Structure 1
Amino acid sequence: MNHEPDFIGNLRSELSNWRPWLDRTIVLGYAVTAGLFVVGFTIATEWAFSLFERLHHAAPWALLLWTPAMTAGIVWATRRWFPGAGGSGIPQTKAALDPAVPAERRGLFASLRLTVAKIGLGVAGFAAGLSIGREGPSVQVAAGVMQHARRWLSPDSTIDTRALLIAGGAAGIAAAFNAPLAGVVFAIEELSGRLEARASGVIITAIVLAGLVAVSAFGNLSYFGIIRVPPPGWNLLGPGLLVALACGMAGGLFARLMVASLTGSPQRLNRCRARWPVRFAAIGGLLVALIGLASGGATFGAGSEAVKQMLAGHDELTPLYTLLKFIATWLTAWCGVPGGIFAPSLSIGAGIGDGIAQLTEPALGSALIAMGMAGFLAAVTQAPLTAFIIVMEMIDGHSMVLSLMASAMLASLVSRMISRPLYETLADHMVIAAAHLPKPSHEAPRTRRA
């Protein structure tokens, strides 16, 4: 027989023990700190890329020395001191959540030390003009901050490290994109597979507080502003279908290239990369610089500014730009520098949508660009719900919910026929590699003195 909750009794029970309230306060403090780290990372990357742009405008050909040298230095420092900071950061967070990883090994993938390294090396990547984003790294940055809270919580606290890692990753996405709903969906679809009742409160709290910090710093604005699209009709069906299919195939190919490149498949170039990683990075940086100069600088950095201009109707992304951005992003990731692919993927998807709009129905340009962003991101990550919600919140595109959802779902389905899930495959590779590493020195058995 069900009884009504006893409000007074429950309140007395809650207030009778101060320790759970102290644990909650600690988590709140760390959530705010995670938001501050992501905001600081954002400001630092924007500052670093502005310095790069000044160099680009002042002495373009100097980039043929600057970008390769910076790329080689970043890869050398990453491999020498912070191997867990390389790449996007999302696979590392997923690896830290893997049940096969012992608690003492989680620091290989998420820690305060890696958080600081990720920020510093990521900022250096933007200063080099590499084709990277900050959103994926923000996941590892915030997760590294949040998991540190566990050492201050009571031993019998119901808030475990897994919940803190998921909350940090979700908060990182929410703060980076100013998209709180996307943070929740990302936690379910990409990190945990489900939202456990005992973790949901921590996740929502982290997202809200980290999001409030980001809003306080940058304002409550959509990432790409508000786009104006004509009312969707049957004239959107054909071009929209083309965009979804093209993004699915291109995104699947991109994911397959990334998996083959970053898991060290037995190919001649990957053997060279394994033997001479710093030289390989220097050559990759040189190719990225050449591509950037050939594109008039359009492929340098995340590509977000080009998308903003295009959505505002001030610019177009040619098919050549889209191809070059695709190659530059792949080469940058292959070098092994710390940097994400979310923002570059949105830029590539926008270029695909814009190109199909110019061929079919230019009046639907804004709508097809948005569908391209959702479709390509969904194809690369194979996380369609997260992709379409991110784009919807970034463009304030609630009127396009069904169109964005359909594009993301179809593109993801096509991608699954071409490639394995990118982040899951990379995370599994990291877990296997970590299992073969020697035990940390503090794990070595101690001998008693006679």
Structure 2
Amino acid sequence: MSAPPSSPNHEPDVLHNLRSELSGWRQWVDRAIVLGYAVFAGLCVVGFTLAAEWAFGLFERVHHAHAWLVLLWTPALTAGIVWLTRRWFPGAAGSGIPQVRAALHPALPPERRGRFVSLRLTLAKIGLATASFAAGLSIGREGPSVQVAAGVMQHARRWLSPGSSLDARALLVAGGAAGIAAAFNAPLAGVVFAIEELYGRLEARASGVVITAIVLAGLVAVSVFGNLSYFGVIHVPPLGWELAGPGLMVALGAGVAGGLFSRLMIASLTNAPQRLNALRARWPVRFAAAGGLLIAVIGLASGGATFGAGSEAVKQMLAGQDVLTPLYTLLKLVATWLSAWVGVPGGIFAPSLSIGAGIGDAVARVAGPELGPALIAMGMAAFLAAATQAPLTAFIIVMEMVDGHSMVLSLMASAMLASLVSRMISRPLYGALADHMVGSAITAPVAAAAAEAPAPEAETGAQR
């Protein structure tokens, strides 16, 4: 008796399978739609990258021409960005990764996903985050790229056939992963990010669209910027036991710093410091202007080192030039926290890499300059892992950004240890912020309905 076609011992019928594939024309239309949206997502991330670089270049020209003007420029732009964000696009505030996680949250009703990801928010995120770079704020574009690409990809669902196996969740994960891959030119990091931060696991029906989106969005980015490592190629000597002690110091220091930074961010963005957040809630635009002024003062005091994402400072440190002293590293952390707290659209990935590089560079000053590039890369992976508590994503991002395949074990160990230390200090940052957003989205309609309902006294008086 022959085995049924579904039996694993039965050889596949090539002709039958080929006819089945070619006969499902609607399935091929769905695939073409997804491919088109993946390319469009990559174009949006590339356009955002170019716009952000142009905007920060504009800020640098203003800063270099008239440094004192930053004291007016940064607060004014920050206040305007926050006013526009709160008035028209509240879902665009912040990093963008918590919004995508909130949209994937099982407790969120599907009809409310548009509060966090949509094509409208994608366009708003690009424009407002670009303006934040023009203000010189300490933000990154990688987190926003996740929300940008996810908003594009989820829009494809309305054109797919009703029987398509691709649901909104799979498209959101694919978009978020594509955003990371295109922003960092790190396709492996995109896959790991989808598993570690967004989905927890990749189902069979989602894995294909995730890989497709990563490949196409990555190809679009590579075609524009070239197939180059984000921070170039680091050259490290053969690593031995002499790296163990300094590397342990970097991992522990970055773990503590990243854990405290994550805890501070959660407290600030979930209304835990009651007094200050009461002022922020009552006068958000004035609060943003005051925060922008502090960021401008910190930037001037650091000689401009704390403005922007900090990528150029990392490149110079990897080249052996001391840019961020320990004091400036602390100021960079404060400027990044303030930039997030005031409520502008912007991420923390790139500033976290800059802070981690500063920690690694500080240890290298004591351990010896020959270990500098290795310790800087380990610091980048460690602080990013501690701040996000996503160690796999962190070490793969850094490995791909510096072409550090010779440091795989060192980067992995520093990221894992720093993340473990951070978990003793703080809850996971993106998970806590996403839970807060979901809770606010669920309770807001209930509170609005309660406010519109007539009071019991009024009802009693009407009955009388």
TM over 0.5: yes
1:75 correspondence with 2:67: no
For 1:343, the aligned partner's letter is A
Matches of residues 1-400 of structure 1 in structure 2 within 5 Å? 1=3, 2-400=9-407
Deviation string, structure 1 residues 218-243 (Cα, Å, up to 9, x no partner): 00000000000011100000000000
The 1-side partners of 2:14 and 2:414 are apart by 47
Q: Which residue of structure 2 lines up, in the alignment, with residue 448 of structure 1?
A: none
Offset of residue 315 of structure 1: 3.3
Residue segments in structure 1 that go unaligned for 5+ positions in a row? 442-450
> C-alpha root-mean-square deviation of aligned residues, in Å?
1.0
Query: Does structure 1 retain, via aligned residues, the 8 Å contact 2:352–2:383?
Result: yes
The 2-side partners of 1:437 and 1:207 are apart by 35
**Match of 1:87, SS?**
coil
The 1-side partners of 2:371 and 2:183 are apart by 28
**Match of 1:437, SS?**
helix
Query: Does structure 1 retain, via aligned residues, the 8 Å contact 2:305–2:323?
Result: no
For 2:140, the aligned partner's letter is G
Offset of residue 438 of structure 1: 2.8
The 2-side partners of 1:169 and 1:272 are apart by 33
Query: Does structure 2 retain, via aligned residues, the 8 Å contact 1:291–1:324?
Result: yes
The 1-side partners of 2:265 and 2:322 are apart by 29
The 1-side partners of 2:357 and 2:23 are apart by 56
Aligned residues: 440
For 2:38, the aligned partner's letter is A
The 2-side partners of 1:382 and 1:412 are apart by 5
**Match of 2:36, SS?**
helix
CA pair 368-266 structure 1, distance change in 2 beyond 3 A: closer
Residue segments in structure 2 that go unaligned for 5+ positions in a row? 4-8, 449-464
Given the two structures, how large is their TM-score scaled by the length of structure 2? 0.94
Q: Which has the higher mean CA deviation after the structures are superposed, 220-229 or 354-363?
A: 354-363
What is the percent sequence identity of the aligned residues? 81
**Greater radius of gyration (CA):** 2
For 1:71, the aligned partner's letter is T
The 1-side partners of 2:283 and 2:138 are apart by 22
**Match of 1:322, SS?**
helix
Query: Does structure 2 retain, via aligned residues, the 8 Å contact 1:239–1:361?
Result: no
The 2-side partners of 1:323 and 1:68 are apart by 21
Q: Which has the higher mean CA deviation after the structures are superposed, 20-29 or 268-277?
A: 268-277
Offset of residue 266 of structure 1: 4.5
The 2-side partners of 1:361 and 1:315 are apart by 13
Offset of residue 361 of structure 1: 2.3
Offset of residue 314 of structure 1: 3.0
Q: Which residue of structure 2 lines up, in the alignment, with residue 407 of structure 1?
A: 414
User: Displaced runs of 4+ in structure 1, greater than 4 A?
Assistant: none
Deviation string, structure 1 residues 89-113 (Cα, Å, up to 9, x no partner): 0000000001111121000000000
Offset of residue 177 of structure 1: 0.0
The 2-side partners of 1:292 and 1:415 are apart by 27
For 1:434, the aligned partner's letter is A
**Match of 1:438, SS?**
helix
Query: Does structure 1 retain, via aligned residues, the 8 Å contact 2:305–2:324?
Result: no
1:422 correspondence with 2:429: yes
**Match of 2:444, SS?**
coil
